[in-house]
Structures are given as C-alpha cells and as structure tokens.
C-alpha cells in the first residue's frame, strides 16, 4: 500500500470540503507511515485520536451544509458517517486494550473507505450543492 496522493478527481470544487478531505487523507497517510515504521502504540494511538477527532469535525460540517440546503440524501450520508466513526472508535478501543495490531489491512480499509466515500457520496452531494447554488 502506498500513501494517498491528492488527485484532482477527488475534488468536489467546494474549498471548505476539499481542504478538509486533504487533512483527513494526511492523517491516514500518517497512520500508514506509523504502521510501516512499526511505531509504538502511543504514536499510533495519537494518530488514531487525531483522525477520529478531525473526522467528527469534518462530518459535522458536511452534515450542517447538507441540512442547510435540504439535501435529500442527508440521512443516508449521515449513516455512512456514523458507521465510519464507529469503526474508528472500535480501533481506539482495541488499542486501549493493547489488542490492536495495526495491520496493513486496517490502514488499507481506512484509505479505501475514505476515497470511495469522497468519490461516491461526497461527489454526489457536491454536484447537488452546485446545482442548488447555481454554480
């Protein structure tokens, strides 16, 4: 697995969301580096906590935008967000029990889910927002 490099195809054309997506991807890259370098549990936990906290912040902002423009798929999008947050909480919980072996599979899952979410649900919302705002 390689680090995630921002591609123009990830862009929604909404600066607030795009800039936050870049930060999320950088945290996943940090986690990949920690795993690759067999970092300590303390370092890994710190990165997972930062990823979790920023994910919650980002999802909250997106959901407020969706509510503000009466996005018809808000509930589905919110459920996707909650599912991912729950997965991050499970990772943190396992780490707290010293049960987490941060595998390549785990990091790959986080990478794949995030990219698929951006290219799927988030792109769909971005298009909706552009139409709604006449952009």
15-36 and 41-68 helices cross at what angle (nearest 10)? 160
Residue 101 covered by a domain: yes
The residues, ordered by sequence, that sit 6+ positions from 33 with a Cβ below 8 Å of its Cβ are: 3, 39
Residue 115 covered by a domain: yes
Q: What is the CATH number of the domain that holds 50?
A: 1.20.120.50
Looking at residue 120, its pLDDT comes to: 96
Residue 110 covered by a domain: yes
Looking at residue 82, its pLDDT comes to: 96
- Give the chain's residues under pLDDT 70: 1, 95-104, 135
Residue 7 covered by a domain: no
The two tokens of residue 55 are 């994910």
Looking at residue 103, its pLDDT comes to: 62
Looking at residue 133, its pLDDT comes to: 78
Looking at residue 100, its pLDDT comes to: 52
Nearest-angstrom CA–CA distance, 96 and 98: 5
Residue 6 covered by a domain: no
Looking at residue 46, its pLDDT comes to: 86
Domain count within the chain: 1
Looking at residue 98, its pLDDT comes to: 60
Residue 18 covered by a domain: yes
Nearest-angstrom CA–CA distance, 13 and 49: 28
Looking at residue 62, its pLDDT comes to: 96
Dihedral angle of Cα 31, 32, 36, 39, to the nearest 10 degrees: 0
Whether the full predicted model's pTM is greater than 0.75, yes or no, is yes
The model's pLDDT over 81-118, given as tens digits with 9 standing for 90+, comes to 999 999 888 877 776 666 555 566 778 888 999 999 99
Residue 3 covered by a domain: no
Query: What residues make up the domain containing 62?
Result: 13-133
Residue 57 covered by a domain: yes
């Amino acid at each position: 697995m390689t680090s995630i490099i921002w591609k123009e195809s990830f862009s929604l054309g909404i600066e607030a969301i795009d800039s936050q997506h870049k930060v999320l991807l950088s945290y996943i890259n940090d986690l990949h580096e920690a795993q690759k370098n067999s970092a300590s549990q303390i370092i890994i936990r710190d990165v997972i906590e930062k990823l979790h906290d920023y994910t919650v912040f980002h999802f909250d902002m997106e959901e407020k935008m969706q509510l503000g423009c009466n996005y018809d798929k808000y509930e589905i999008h919110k459920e996707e967000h909650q599912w991912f947050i729950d997965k991050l909480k499970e990772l943190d919980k396992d780490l707290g029990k010293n049960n987490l072996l941060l595998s390549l599979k785990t990091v790959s899952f986080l990478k794949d889910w995030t990219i698929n979410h951006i290219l799927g649900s988030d792109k769909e919302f971005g298009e909706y927002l552009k139409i709604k705002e006449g952009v």
